[in-house]
Amino acid sequence: MALDRRESGEVAERIDLREWRERAQKFETEVSKAVVGQQRVIRLLTIALFARGHVLLEGDVGVGKTTLLRAAARCVGGAYERIEGTIDLMPGDFIYHTYLAEDGRPRVEEGPVLRAGEDLAIFFFNEINRARPQVHSLLLRIMAERSVSAFNREFHFPHLVVFADRNRVEREETFELPAAARDRFLMEIAIGLPSDDATRRALAFDTRYHDGDRLIGQLEQGILKHDLLNDVGRAIQNETKTSDVLERYVLSLWEAVRNPKAAGIDIDGVDTARLVAAGASPRGLSYLVRAARVAAWLDG
């Protein structure tokens, strides 16, 4: 659904934030049917969706990162696409792929970023640290502007949220993410093993969790109506006010993470004046406040 500025404003006025809080709670309940023992992670992912920010997931192999995103994508609605990070992945692989058709002639088809057009809601970059820096550069453009240039035209993805994951264990043939790329993510969420015995027992012995496709296929689709999330997110930011005390705290925190020495932070044996090379960016602090507003709204 494409809205001009006036229509978007009219939709924002019709947003019922109480009803949308109920939708958010239903979303979390539904996702937790497929991903058990990860309530904190699901809450952070919900915050990111309503704050309209991108997310980097970190965790060991097999802890449920892909299952989490597939479940979230089904419950958000809209199109879901993914790409696998490999050492030979090139920027063009996002945009198109070529092949020989049955008649022996070459063909060009749209790649995963373009395939769904403006309906693209969630794009998943699996094992992002296996991709080369050239690929990260294109991803930055997509994340920052929600657009890309291809085939002599501009493609826009107004409802897009990018999720990426990074394997913390395997380091062979990997590339460290540049600071500019990490700064585009609203959150970096660590996913570990569930800590309670009941959940671990369920994951090991309950056969429901052994068939991920069937489990996700049973979840309700489109709970969050992806094409309205921008307007809902805007309404949350406008309606949730910050106090003077909180604003002073955030600004003091910003100064402390950039210049810990001036903030009075002392660590034995450490020159805190040289401890931080580059602290939080203005974008990072705005992300913090955006996420805090959504968290406050979710908590009523």
pTM given for the model: 0.88
Kindly indicate the confidence band of residue 171, based on its pLDDT and cuts at 50, 70 and 90. low
Mean pLDDT of 252-263: 88
Q: How far apart are CA 114 and CA 80, in angstroms?
A: 11
Residue 82 CA to residue 84 CA, distance in Å, equals: 7
The closest of 141, 158, 162 to 150, measured between CA atoms, is 141
Out of 26-40, 103-117, 255-269, the most confident range is: 26-40
Give the C-alpha separation, 289 to 251, whole Å: 11
60-70 residue pLDDT tens: 777 888 899 99
The domains located in the chain, with CATH, are 18-229 (3.40.50.300)
Query: What is the rounded CA–CA span in Å between residue 148 and residue 161?
Result: 14
**Max Cα separation, the chain?**
73
